[in-house]
Amino acid sequence: MDRGKISRLMTAADRVTLSGHVINKVGTLQLAIAARHFGLPYVAMVQRPDRFAPTPDYVAMEERDGRESLSCLGVPTASPLVRGWYPAFDVTPPTLVAAVATSEGIFGPLALREQFGAGECGPSETTRN
């Protein structure tokens, strides 16, 4: 990015909410921040936004065992006093998303609810985070 040899950052997305939030593997948020820093648009690619997820609050976020982040190949890499935290996904806000590319076209993140929210059904309380 710093050499000016790319014109945009594109990633796949595990899910995109109707509010335009991109939910993807940890590291996507940092990439979107870097793209913004270098003046590059960030485009998320997904088949279609999740009509059952109006916002990230409706998406259960996987967290792995934090102890996994405290060792490498079975060798401890941190003090025994340290607790690990190992989220599997992060959430990129729509303010960092230039566009969402779907099978039905390319849309701004704030246009997703209007385009894909028809017949929107909220999830049951059991699936809500």
Q: What is the pLDDT of residues 20-34, one digit of tens each?
A: 999 999 999 999 999
Tokens in use for 101?
């590319």
Q: What is the pTM of this model?
A: 0.85
Tokens in use for 102?
């779907």
Confidence (pLDDT) at 121: 58
Confidence (pLDDT) at 40: 98
pLDDT classification of 117: cutoffs 50, 70, 90:
confident
Q: Give backbone dihedrals phi and psi of 106, rounded to 5 degrees, phi first.
A: -110, 130
Strand-pairing partners, residue 89, are 25
| Dihedral (CA of 54, 97, 110, 114) sign | negative
pLDDT, one tens digit per residue, over 56-104 is 999 999 999 999 999 999 899 999 999 999 999 999 999 999 999 999 9
Confidence (pLDDT) at 8: 97
Confidence (pLDDT) at 104: 96
* Residue numbers annotated as active site: 14
pLDDT classification of 119: cutoffs 50, 70, 90:
low
Give me the amino acid identity at 2. D
